[in-house]
Structure 1
Amino acid sequence: MGDRVDPYRNFRFRVEIDGIGQAGFSECTFADTSTEPIEYREGNEPPVFRKLSGLTKYGNITLKWGITDSMDLYNWRKQIIDTGAEGARKNMAIILIDEAGNDKARWDIVQAWPIKYDPTDFNAKNNEVGIETLEIAHEGFTRAS
């Protein structure tokens, strides 16, 4: 019998964004990819549709982190507001880390840009960490390892 290989846990990861030195994130919601089927039938064929592949869509990525003095991600979003996405797109990577601290899986994301920024809410009755949220659109990803 072979050695047992357990799946990796999802609580250790890091996000790399070109030119942004954000230390860490508490949550990264990685969206799916889907290809729309196109139903097609010619008049001389049996009354059954063929399914052709259509456009491929990539869902958005959401990053959450505890608020600090860093303005890097906010400034990236502000750049989009001020001048648009052209010239502000960045490549990213999401890396899964095992319990020993080794990189185990990597997804490379291309042409990413922030479409939504949500600052933290404030409440004087609790003592939770303030969380900022950034939603990012992109033009695709590949699993590199």
Structure 2
Amino acid sequence: MADDASTQANSVWPIAKFYFQVQWDSKVMLFQEVSGLDIETQAIEYRAGNSPDFSVTQMPGLRKYSNVIMKKGIFKSDSTFWDWFNQIKMNTTKRLPITISLLDEAGGITMVWTLSHAWPTKITATNLDSDSNEVAIESIEIAHEGISIDTR
């Protein structure tokens, strides 16, 4: 009997990265690309005054989260990014939870990244080029106060 690889599909092969969805507050939005799901711990260098070693010790310090960049095609009458960005006032803005879900072949959720208290810091509109036949793409850069990961 030939092995059809169905038993290996869920455990041996890595998950493809092209099938994902983004839940933006309460609605699901479609994006071409999501990047910047990074977490970093800053190193603190320390040396005790009575240490016989002529070197510093490194200890974990504060966590630092990268801004997340999301890119999507521009659709007629879609101003979702701009509407959210225009809500920013001096030191106040509407903060949203954003959930990015990596899906398997059947559309089931396999891994989830949740951004807490997210808000827009930058919007980049498409470049315009009369010699091009590409789709118009806009991007939004989002700051947040933390990222959590659920591997289901």
Answer yes or no: is 1:44 the counterpart of 2:11: no
- CA apart distance, 1:45: 1.4
Identical columns (%): 37
TM-score (norm 2): 0.85
Q: Distance in 1 between matches of 2:91 and 2:138?
A: 21
Q: Distance in 1 between matches of 2:17 and 2:41?
A: 26
In structure 2, list runs of 5 or more residues that go unmatched: 1-6
Alignment of 1:76-87 (within 5 A): 76-80=84-88, 83-84=89-90, 86-87=92-93
- How many residue pairs are counted as aligned between the two chains? 140
- CA apart distance, 1:84: 4.1
RMSD, aligned CA = 1.6
- CA apart distance, 1:22: 5.6
| Structure 1 pair 39–23 and aligned structure 2 pair: CA distance change class (3 A) | closer
| Alpha-carbon contact 1:91-1:110 (below 8 Å) kept | yes
In structure 1, list runs of 5 or more residues that go unmatched: none
Q: Distance in 2 between matches of 1:97 and 1:22?
A: 14
> Which position in structure 2 is the counterpart of 1:103?
109
| Alpha-carbon contact 2:22-2:30 (below 8 Å) kept | yes
When Rg is computed on C-alpha atoms for both structures, the one with the higher figure is: 2
Answer yes or no: is 1:10 the counterpart of 2:52: no
Q: Distance in 2 between matches of 1:84 and 1:122?
A: 31
For 1:95, the aligned partner's letter is S
- CA apart distance, 1:104: 0.7
* 4+ runs deviating over 3 angstroms: none
**What do the CA deviations read for 1:104-123 (whole angstroms, capped 9, x no partner)?**
10011101111000111111
For 1:106, the aligned partner's letter is V
For 1:53, the aligned partner's letter is P
Alignment of 1:116-131 (within 5 A): 116-131=122-137
For 1:73, the aligned partner's letter is F
**Between Structure 1 and Structure 2, which shows a larger proportion of helix residues?**
1
